[in-house]
Chain A
Amino acid sequence: DAGVTQSPTHLIKTRGQQVTLRCSPISGHKSVSWYQQVLGQGPQFIFQYYEKEERGRGNFPDRFSARQFPNYSSELNVNALLLGDSALYLCASSYSTGTLSNEQFFGPGTRLTVL
């Protein structure tokens, strides 16, 4: 079975630009979460979507937005990029938000570099 896939793998942007990252969850999983991981730190929660609705938002500015499509894939958008947005962006999928286990499986990530 295919795991979580993310695209693109790497991305280089300049300050002020906008970027869109994409994620496809594991087949059968309905929930997608986005995390930002700065070098040397643990992942930080950005958003969670379940059944196309936002179910949680972390402490990130409004420049960050996301959506989930009917096929459960998801996009993360970041506007007005800052140097500090350079990070590994991770997508995680889980079956739902309400199950006890809620095990989240991560994709390989998108490495974003802002110059």
Chain B
Amino acid sequence: EDQVTQSPEALRLQEGESSSLNCSYTVSGLRGLFWYRQDPGKGPEFLFTLYSAGEEKEKERLKATLTKKESFLHITAPKPEDSATYLCAVHRWATGTASKLTFGTGTRLQVTL
């Protein structure tokens, strides 16, 4: 069964203090790894899709990387508006056509002034 583990569960940073969030996964035949941002009471907002080990993608202060076992979301010089829960999800190749995403429990990020 697919497994996704995110760490840390919660992270508190000061504005400008860079850090990384980790997503470890176990899946047979990764089709894609997704990063989402979720604000309280809202739906997840799509950030990135990564398909193969070594791939990197950037968006503003965020950079996502992928290895064969884990993905990192690097946050450079964060601002208070980056405070949110960051979710990681995997999608695997499978017979049939279901496109089920398996999510981790997320990392709650708080950025203070």
Contact = CB atoms under 8 A, between A and B. Distances in A.
Contacts of A111: 41
Interface string A89-101: 0101010011011
Contact of A100 (B34, B51, B106): B51
Interface residues of B, number: 27
B99 A33 contact: yes
Interface string A19-38: 00000000000010101000
Interface in B70-113: 87, 89, 91, 96-106
Contacts of B105: 40-42
A107 B43 contact: yes
B104 A104 contact: no
A64 interface: no
A43 B97 contact: no
B96 A106 contact: no
Nearest to B106: A42
Given A55-B96, A103-B34, A104-B101, A88 B91 contact: no
A107 B60 CA distance: 23
A90 B98 contact: no
Top 6 nearest A-B pairs (CB, nearest first) are A56-B98, A42-B103, A106-B43, A97-B97, A45-B100, A97-B99
Interface of A: 4, 6, 31, 33, 35, 40-45, 48, 50, 55-58, 88, 90, 92, 94, 97-98, 100-109, 111
